[in-house]
Structure 1
Amino acid sequence: MTRLRAATESDAGPVIAIWQACDLTRPWNDPRADFARALNHSASTIIVAEQGPDIVGTAMTGFDGHRGWIYYLGVAPDRRGQGIARQLLDHACDWLKLRGCPKVELMLREGNPAAELYKHLGWELQPVRVFARWLA
Protein backbone atom coordinates (compact mmCIF):
# COMPACT_ATOMS: atom_id res chain seq x y z
CA MET A 1 0.00 0.00 0.00
CA THR A 2 1.23 3.48 -0.87
CA ARG A 3 0.74 6.35 1.56
CA LEU A 4 1.16 10.01 0.56
CA ARG A 5 2.21 12.77 2.93
CA ALA A 6 4.03 16.08 3.06
CA ALA A 7 7.79 15.77 3.33
CA THR A 8 9.65 16.86 6.44
CA GLU A 9 13.22 18.06 6.81
CA SER A 10 14.32 14.55 7.80
CA ASP A 11 13.20 13.26 4.38
CA ALA A 12 15.83 15.27 2.47
CA GLY A 13 18.25 12.36 1.96
CA PRO A 14 15.76 9.79 0.64
CA VAL A 15 13.92 12.37 -1.49
CA ILE A 16 17.11 13.62 -3.11
CA ALA A 17 18.21 10.02 -3.69
CA ILE A 18 15.03 9.46 -5.72
CA TRP A 19 15.62 12.69 -7.66
CA GLN A 20 19.11 11.44 -8.49
CA ALA A 21 17.97 7.91 -9.37
CA CYS A 22 15.43 9.45 -11.77
CA ASP A 23 18.05 11.77 -13.33
CA LEU A 24 16.12 14.87 -12.21
CA THR A 25 19.03 16.78 -10.69
CA ARG A 26 21.41 19.00 -12.60
CA PRO A 27 24.88 20.24 -11.61
CA TRP A 28 23.76 23.88 -11.60
CA ASN A 29 20.92 23.24 -9.11
CA ASP A 30 21.70 22.27 -5.54
CA PRO A 31 19.02 19.69 -4.70
CA ARG A 32 19.42 20.25 -0.95
CA ALA A 33 18.76 23.96 -1.43
CA ASP A 34 15.77 23.21 -3.69
CA PHE A 35 14.37 20.84 -1.05
CA ALA A 36 14.85 23.36 1.78
CA ARG A 37 13.33 26.27 -0.17
CA ALA A 38 10.25 24.22 -1.04
CA LEU A 39 9.68 23.15 2.55
CA ASN A 40 10.25 26.61 3.95
CA HIS A 41 7.82 28.48 1.72
CA SER A 42 4.06 28.64 2.26
CA ALA A 43 3.33 28.45 -1.49
CA SER A 44 5.08 25.12 -2.03
CA THR A 45 5.38 21.62 -0.68
CA ILE A 46 7.05 18.31 -1.41
CA ILE A 47 4.82 15.25 -1.41
CA VAL A 48 6.32 11.85 -0.72
CA ALA A 49 4.93 8.41 -1.47
CA GLU A 50 5.79 5.75 1.07
CA GLN A 51 5.54 1.99 0.97
CA GLY A 52 6.28 0.66 4.41
CA PRO A 53 9.27 2.59 5.76
CA ASP A 54 10.57 3.51 2.30
CA ILE A 55 10.05 6.72 0.36
CA VAL A 56 9.38 5.49 -3.18
CA GLY A 57 8.20 8.64 -4.94
CA THR A 58 8.19 12.40 -4.73
CA ALA A 59 6.67 15.50 -6.27
CA MET A 60 7.44 19.14 -5.52
CA THR A 61 4.55 21.51 -6.14
CA GLY A 62 3.96 25.20 -5.82
CA PHE A 63 1.49 27.93 -6.67
CA ASP A 64 2.63 31.34 -7.89
CA GLY A 65 -0.84 32.92 -7.80
CA HIS A 66 -1.39 32.36 -11.53
CA ARG A 67 -0.37 28.76 -12.18
CA GLY A 68 0.48 25.70 -10.22
CA TRP A 69 3.70 23.90 -11.02
CA ILE A 70 4.96 20.39 -10.44
CA TYR A 71 8.67 19.66 -10.32
CA TYR A 72 10.86 16.73 -9.34
CA LEU A 73 8.18 14.11 -9.95
CA GLY A 74 10.02 10.85 -9.59
CA VAL A 75 9.32 7.25 -8.66
CA ALA A 76 12.04 4.85 -7.60
CA PRO A 77 12.97 2.80 -10.69
CA ASP A 78 12.13 -0.51 -8.98
CA ARG A 79 8.65 0.75 -8.01
CA ARG A 80 7.46 2.04 -11.38
CA GLY A 81 4.30 0.69 -12.98
CA GLN A 82 2.33 0.67 -9.70
CA GLY A 83 0.40 3.92 -10.25
CA ILE A 84 2.56 5.92 -7.85
CA ALA A 85 3.19 8.73 -10.34
CA ARG A 86 -0.55 9.10 -10.93
CA GLN A 87 -1.17 9.23 -7.18
CA LEU A 88 1.50 11.89 -6.72
CA LEU A 89 0.15 13.98 -9.59
CA ASP A 90 -3.43 13.71 -8.29
CA HIS A 91 -2.33 14.64 -4.76
CA ALA A 92 -0.33 17.62 -6.06
CA CYS A 93 -3.36 18.78 -8.08
CA ASP A 94 -5.59 18.45 -5.00
CA TRP A 95 -3.07 20.51 -2.95
CA LEU A 96 -3.19 23.20 -5.63
CA LYS A 97 -7.00 23.15 -5.92
CA LEU A 98 -7.29 23.76 -2.17
CA ARG A 99 -5.31 26.97 -2.73
CA GLY A 100 -7.55 28.20 -5.54
CA CYS A 101 -5.19 27.29 -8.36
CA PRO A 102 -6.98 27.22 -11.75
CA LYS A 103 -4.35 25.40 -13.86
CA VAL A 104 -1.27 23.29 -13.27
CA GLU A 105 1.74 22.81 -15.51
CA LEU A 106 4.95 20.87 -15.38
CA MET A 107 8.16 21.18 -17.32
CA LEU A 108 9.92 18.24 -18.87
CA ARG A 109 13.35 18.28 -20.47
CA GLU A 110 13.59 17.29 -24.14
CA GLY A 111 14.13 13.58 -24.51
CA ASN A 112 12.69 12.64 -21.12
CA PRO A 113 10.82 9.35 -21.65
CA ALA A 114 8.22 10.38 -19.03
CA ALA A 115 6.49 12.41 -21.77
CA GLU A 116 4.56 9.27 -22.73
CA LEU A 117 3.43 8.79 -19.13
CA TYR A 118 2.03 12.33 -18.96
CA LYS A 119 0.20 11.90 -22.26
CA HIS A 120 -1.23 8.60 -21.00
CA LEU A 121 -2.47 10.35 -17.84
CA GLY A 122 -4.28 13.05 -19.82
CA TRP A 123 -1.77 15.88 -19.67
CA GLU A 124 -1.55 18.03 -22.81
CA LEU A 125 1.62 19.29 -24.43
CA GLN A 126 1.53 23.10 -24.46
CA PRO A 127 2.84 25.27 -27.32
CA VAL A 128 5.16 27.41 -25.19
CA ARG A 129 8.87 28.02 -24.89
CA VAL A 130 10.50 28.62 -21.54
CA PHE A 131 13.08 31.35 -21.04
CA ALA A 132 15.20 31.58 -17.92
CA ARG A 133 17.51 34.02 -16.20
CA TRP A 134 19.65 33.40 -13.13
CA LEU A 135 19.07 35.86 -10.28
CA ALA A 136 22.10 34.93 -8.22
Structure 2
Amino acid sequence: MDIRSAEISDSEAVIALWQRCGLTRPWNEPAADFAAALANPTSDVLLIADADAPIASVMVGYDGHRGWVYYLAVDLAHRRAGLGRRMMAAAEAWLRERGAPKIQLMVREDNAAAIGFYEAIGLERQPVVTLGRRLDIGKA
Protein backbone atom coordinates (compact mmCIF):
# COMPACT_ATOMS: atom_id res chain seq x y z
CA MET A 1 0.00 0.00 0.00
CA ASP A 2 1.50 3.26 -1.17
CA ILE A 3 1.34 6.64 0.51
CA ARG A 4 -0.08 9.40 -1.67
CA SER A 5 -1.33 12.96 -1.41
CA ALA A 6 -5.06 13.19 -0.88
CA GLU A 7 -7.32 14.72 -3.48
CA ILE A 8 -10.48 16.75 -2.95
CA SER A 9 -12.47 13.64 -3.89
CA ASP A 10 -10.98 11.91 -0.79
CA SER A 11 -12.44 14.53 1.55
CA GLU A 12 -15.51 12.70 2.86
CA ALA A 13 -13.72 9.39 3.37
CA VAL A 14 -10.71 10.96 5.10
CA ILE A 15 -12.92 13.05 7.38
CA ALA A 16 -14.93 9.92 8.23
CA LEU A 17 -11.63 8.24 9.19
CA TRP A 18 -10.72 11.21 11.42
CA GLN A 19 -14.14 10.99 13.06
CA ARG A 20 -13.88 7.22 13.66
CA CYS A 21 -10.49 7.82 15.27
CA GLY A 22 -11.87 10.53 17.58
CA LEU A 23 -9.75 13.34 16.13
CA THR A 24 -12.46 15.88 15.34
CA ARG A 25 -13.87 18.42 17.76
CA PRO A 26 -17.05 20.51 17.48
CA TRP A 27 -15.09 23.77 17.40
CA ASN A 28 -12.90 22.69 14.44
CA GLU A 29 -14.39 22.15 11.01
CA PRO A 30 -12.53 19.15 9.52
CA ALA A 31 -13.81 19.81 5.98
CA ALA A 32 -12.36 23.32 6.11
CA ASP A 33 -9.08 21.97 7.52
CA PHE A 34 -8.88 19.36 4.75
CA ALA A 35 -9.68 21.86 1.98
CA ALA A 36 -7.22 24.44 3.32
CA ALA A 37 -4.42 21.86 3.53
CA LEU A 38 -4.91 20.86 -0.11
CA ALA A 39 -5.26 24.46 -1.31
CA ASN A 40 -2.02 25.62 0.28
CA PRO A 41 1.39 24.72 -1.18
CA THR A 42 2.89 24.60 2.33
CA SER A 43 0.61 21.80 3.52
CA ASP A 44 -0.79 18.46 2.43
CA VAL A 45 -2.85 15.50 3.56
CA LEU A 46 -1.07 12.19 3.01
CA LEU A 47 -2.90 8.89 3.05
CA ILE A 48 -2.78 5.16 2.60
CA ALA A 49 -5.83 3.59 0.98
CA ASP A 50 -6.96 -0.02 0.83
CA ALA A 51 -9.35 -0.66 -2.05
CA ASP A 52 -9.74 3.13 -2.45
CA ALA A 53 -10.81 3.57 1.20
CA PRO A 54 -8.40 5.61 3.34
CA ILE A 55 -7.08 3.56 6.25
CA ALA A 56 -4.37 5.97 7.45
CA SER A 57 -3.78 9.68 7.04
CA VAL A 58 -1.77 12.60 8.32
CA MET A 59 -2.02 16.34 7.69
CA VAL A 60 1.36 18.04 7.43
CA GLY A 61 2.38 21.65 7.07
CA TYR A 62 5.43 23.90 7.12
CA ASP A 63 5.12 27.44 8.42
CA GLY A 64 8.63 28.47 7.35
CA HIS A 65 10.01 27.87 10.85
CA ARG A 66 8.68 24.45 11.93
CA GLY A 67 6.91 21.49 10.47
CA TRP A 68 3.56 20.60 12.01
CA VAL A 69 1.59 17.38 12.08
CA TYR A 70 -2.17 17.10 12.56
CA TYR A 71 -4.84 14.43 12.20
CA LEU A 72 -2.60 11.35 12.30
CA ALA A 73 -5.20 8.61 11.98
CA VAL A 74 -5.09 4.85 11.50
CA ASP A 75 -8.35 2.98 11.07
CA LEU A 76 -9.12 0.85 14.12
CA ALA A 77 -9.07 -2.38 12.10
CA HIS A 78 -5.56 -1.63 10.78
CA ARG A 79 -3.80 -0.54 13.96
CA ARG A 80 -0.64 -2.18 15.27
CA ALA A 81 0.55 -2.89 11.72
CA GLY A 82 3.07 -0.04 11.49
CA LEU A 83 0.86 2.35 9.53
CA GLY A 84 1.15 5.14 12.10
CA ARG A 85 4.92 4.91 11.91
CA ARG A 86 4.77 4.93 8.10
CA MET A 87 2.56 8.01 8.09
CA MET A 88 4.89 9.85 10.48
CA ALA A 89 7.90 8.87 8.37
CA ALA A 90 6.09 10.21 5.29
CA ALA A 91 5.25 13.45 7.11
CA GLU A 92 8.88 13.85 8.15
CA ALA A 93 10.09 13.18 4.59
CA TRP A 94 7.60 15.73 3.23
CA LEU A 95 8.92 18.30 5.70
CA ARG A 96 12.59 17.52 5.02
CA GLU A 97 11.98 18.05 1.29
CA ARG A 98 10.84 21.57 2.16
CA GLY A 99 13.75 22.34 4.48
CA ALA A 100 11.89 22.16 7.79
CA PRO A 101 14.46 21.82 10.60
CA LYS A 102 12.02 20.58 13.24
CA ILE A 103 8.71 18.74 13.53
CA GLN A 104 6.11 19.51 16.16
CA LEU A 105 2.61 18.39 17.02
CA MET A 106 0.11 18.90 19.78
CA VAL A 107 -1.60 16.11 21.72
CA ARG A 108 -4.35 16.62 24.26
CA GLU A 109 -2.79 16.01 27.67
CA ASP A 110 -5.29 13.26 28.56
CA ASN A 111 -4.50 11.20 25.44
CA ALA A 112 -1.97 8.82 26.99
CA ALA A 113 -2.11 6.37 24.07
CA ALA A 114 -1.15 9.03 21.53
CA ILE A 115 1.58 10.43 23.77
CA GLY A 116 2.97 6.92 24.23
CA PHE A 117 2.97 6.31 20.46
CA TYR A 118 4.83 9.54 19.70
CA GLU A 119 7.37 8.96 22.45
CA ALA A 120 7.94 5.40 21.17
CA ILE A 121 8.88 6.76 17.74
CA GLY A 122 11.34 9.26 19.17
CA LEU A 123 9.41 12.47 19.74
CA GLU A 124 10.08 14.22 23.02
CA ARG A 125 7.95 16.39 25.26
CA GLN A 126 8.90 20.02 24.80
CA PRO A 127 9.20 22.51 27.68
CA VAL A 128 6.63 24.93 26.27
CA VAL A 129 3.14 26.10 27.07
CA THR A 130 0.72 26.40 24.19
CA LEU A 131 -1.41 29.53 24.27
CA GLY A 132 -4.22 30.31 21.86
CA ARG A 133 -7.33 32.23 21.02
CA ARG A 134 -10.13 31.65 18.52
CA LEU A 135 -10.07 34.24 15.73
CA ASP A 136 -13.12 32.96 13.92
CA ILE A 137 -15.66 33.66 16.69
CA GLY A 138 -16.30 36.77 18.75
CA LYS A 139 -13.81 39.53 19.35
CA ALA A 140 -10.65 39.60 21.41
Tell me, in whole angstroms, the C-alpha distance in 2 between the residues paired with 1:44 and 1:94: 13
Residues 3 and 51 in structure 1, CA contact (< 8 A), matched pair in contact too: no
Deviation at 1:125, TM superposition (A): 1.0
Aligned to 2:128: 128
Unaligned runs of 5+ in 1: none
Q: Which digits, 9 at most, give the CA deviation of each residue in 1:30-75, with x for residues without a partner?
A: 1111110111001100001122322101100000000000000010
Q: TM-score, normalised by structure 1?
A: 0.96
Aligned to 2:79: 80
| Amino acid corresponding to residue 71 of structure 1 in structure 2 | Y
Unaligned runs of 5+ in 2: none
Identity %: 44
Tell me, in whole angstroms, the C-alpha distance in 1 between the residues paired with 2:48 and 2:104: 20
> How many matched pairs?
135
Residues 68 and 105 in structure 1, CA contact (< 8 A), matched pair in contact too: yes
Deviation at 1:114, TM superposition (A): 1.1
- Determine if the alignment matches structure 1 residue 46 to structure 2 residue 42: no
Following superposition, which runs of at least 4 residues in structure 1 exceed 4 angstroms of deviation?
Answer: none
Tell me, in whole angstroms, the C-alpha distance in 2 between the residues paired with 1:3 and 1:75: 14
